[in-house]
Structure 1
Amino acid sequence: MADIPTLRTERLVLRPMTMVDWPAYVDFMQTERSAGMGGPFDKKMAWALFCHDMAQWPLMGNGALMIEENASGSCLGQVGINHGPLFPEHELGWFVYPEAEGKGVAYEAAQRFLGWARNERELPSLVSYVDEDNLRSRHLAERLGAVLDKDAERPNPEDLVYRHF
């Protein structure tokens, strides 16, 4: 079974999920803000996703971490590495709650988790599957140094695939 890491940046703590995170998570998943991930989702599907995010740690050696602000202790969103039968490659994904949007939180969290994936987990490849209409996530993937890979396999044929090097 994999240990779930706690990772830190100057402003953030990337930490394991707890049930305290569920109310904000389900609220987010039931809004249009989750459309880039296939949402909005009903409560039952949001619960399945929440459990999926956690279950990947012992099954795959990676999963999701919640993004917490050091100063306030507020949970600002999630960053994760998905893999398994639904994902052709390890996928770096992220979302932030509305109050964290536009503050560099997703970039800082994704950059730190990307470093962990490369240096600690030593993943052979990493991609981000991004909805074509999700301009913020497309720009974030590019800011992280990822480039479009038009030939990569993808779980949703309409998604763009950004490859991280």
Structure 2
Amino acid sequence: MYLTEENRGKIWGDIPYAVEGLEGLDGDFLEKVYQRHVKEPWEILQTDRLIVREMTEEDLDALYRIYDQPGIEDVMDGLSEDREEERAYVRAYIERAYPFYGFGLWMLAERESGRCVGRAGFFMREGFDEPELGFIIAREAQRKGYCMEACGAILEYGFRELGFERVQALAAERNSASLAVCRKLGGQRSGSIVWEGRSYVRFVWSR
């Protein structure tokens, strides 16, 4: 919808996009609008070995494989034991979170094989103003540098394309791998917090 002085103050509940001018309406923007309309996942970026893209419902099996790690719920929220409940959550996330925020947690797929090897991206944690970097790598894909490769590119994307001024990450105190990733990515330690019974170290990145 094109915004004018006459319609600017009205509520248009069924209109997903509104523009004030033609600036920025390039091919990339229009392609993303089309993809959103036909429910195709956006490709966010590519690295040397990975494609970072939005989730689809077809990723459900991959998500359960990625999160199938001993002690995962000691350091982060896991998936529902009810697969249909998790499917409904994924569907709602795709339909609401991605369009509302313009970002979210994305799938990490190998460029050569297409196999999903992890999940990473940004989300908003209740009680915090900064977007948060989150990440998890499947057991069989760990120790290959995928996490650093993906998260480094995602942080750059957040500052350059999304206009973030600050990004935080909460790494569980007992999760040595996540702590190491945050340090190697240049995160500045900003204290410790307890969230929902878990102890975390807070890291911050600034533009």
Normalising to structure 2: TM-score of the pair? 0.68
Aligned to 1:34: 72
Map Cα deviations across residues 128-149 of structure 1 (whole Å, 9 max, x no partner): 1111111000000001000210
Aligned residue-pair number: 163
Which of 1, 7, 10 is 2:48 aligned to?
Answer: 10
* 2:165 pairs with 1:103: no
| Residues 146, 158 of structure 1: alpha-carbon distance in 2 compared, 3 angstrom cutoff | same
The reply to whether residue 21 of structure 1 matches residue 21 of structure 2 is: no
Equivalent pair of 2:67/2:138 in contact (CA under 8 Å)? no
Cα gap change, 1:160/1:61 in structure 2, threshold over 3 Å: closer, same or farther?
Answer: same
Q: Retained in 1: the 8 A contact 2:105–2:120? A: yes
Q: SS where residue 103 of structure 2 aligns?
A: coil
Conserved in 1, the CA contact under 8 Å of 2:57 and 2:87?
A: no
Q: Tell me, yes or no, if the aligned pair for 1:96 and 1:106 is still in contact at 8 Å.
A: yes
Please identify, of 97-106 and 87-96, the stretch whose mean Cα deviation from structure 2 is larger: 87-96
Residue equivalent to 2:191: 150
SS in 2 for 1:137: helix
| Residues 1:14 and 1:87: Cα distance change in structure 2 (over 3 Å) | farther
Larger radius of gyration: 2
Superposed counterparts of 1:1-165, under 5 Å: 4-29=42-67, 31-32=69-70, 34-35=72-73, 36-39=75-78, 41-43=80-82, 46-47=86-87, 50-51=90-91, 54=94, 55-83=96-124, 86=126, 88=128, 89-150=130-191, 155-156=195-196, 158-165=199-206
Residue 50 of structure 1 and its aligned partner are, at CA, apart by 3.5
TM-score, normalised to structure 1, is 0.84
Counterpart contact for 1:15–1:67, Cα < 8 Å: yes
Deviates more, 1:92-101 or 1:48-57: 48-57
CA 1:142–1:52: 2 relative to 1, 3 Å: farther
Q: Which has the higher contact order (CA 8 A, sep 6+)?
A: 1
**Ranges in structure 2 where 5+ consecutive residues have no aligned partner:** 1-15, 18-31, 33-41
Unmatched 5+ residue regions in structure 1? none
